[in-house]
């Protein structure tokens, strides 16, 4: 088994860590800073929900793309003997599941319910679909929390490996 500090792969590893760190940082920023700021700033909760929903849709689609790219890079690193990326692939797969579910199930379904309510001239939370919308919102929030936890663990694992590499070269 080769160690993470294989010099021929340092560029790919650094790129992997940079992309993963920026991606997870952006994910956390959107979910735990931007969305709450939107709701605390805007007085119209329906409009705030539409803005936040739009941002979450973009974040989910970007996450699908970044996650697939990182899985491909992790596979390449594992094939080159860097077994530390085996667990990373499982974390990325879990995060991909969260992103795909959000982007292609929860967000479109919630947008459809919101659009139907607006077509009837009412906000979604006052429509007959309010209960299902609330449940979908709760489920998507739990999914985002899981994705955040996986992301934090991903960056933690990557920084652990990087820290060990630095200790070996001091």
CB-based contact 91:150 (threshold 8 Å): yes
CA distances (Å), origin 142, targets 47, 58, 136, 137, 147? 22, 18, 10, 9, 9
Q: What is the pLDDT of residues 100-116, one digit of tens each?
A: 999 999 999 999 999 99
- List the structure tokens of 11: 């560029």
User: 160 pLDDT band (50/70/90 cuts)?
Assistant: confident
Q: What is the pLDDT of residues 11-53, one digit of tens each?
A: 889 999 999 999 999 999 999 999 999 999 999 999 999 999 9
pTM score, two decimals? 0.87
């Amino acid at each position: 088994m080769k160690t993470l500090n294989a010099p021929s792969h340092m560029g790919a590893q650094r790129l992997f860590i940079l992309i993963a760190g920026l991606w997870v940082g952006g994910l956390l920023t959107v979910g735990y800073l931007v969305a709450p700021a939107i709701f605390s700033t805007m007085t119209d909760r329906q409009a705030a929900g539409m803005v936040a929903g739009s941002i979450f849709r973009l974040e989910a689609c970007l996450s699908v793309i970044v996650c697939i790219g990182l899985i491909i890079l992790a596979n390449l690193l594992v094939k080159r003997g860097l077994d530390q990326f085996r667990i990373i692939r499982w974390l990325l797969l879990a995060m991909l599941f969260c992103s795909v579910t959000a982007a292609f199930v929860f967000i479109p379904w919630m947008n459809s319910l919101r659009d139907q309510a607006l077509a009837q001239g009412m906000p979604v939370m006052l429509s007959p679909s309010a209960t299902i919308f609330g449940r979908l919102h709760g489920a998507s929030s739990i999914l985002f929390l899981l994705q955040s936890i996986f992301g934090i663990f991903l960056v933690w694992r990557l920084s652990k490996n990087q820290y060990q590499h630095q200790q070996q070269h001091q």
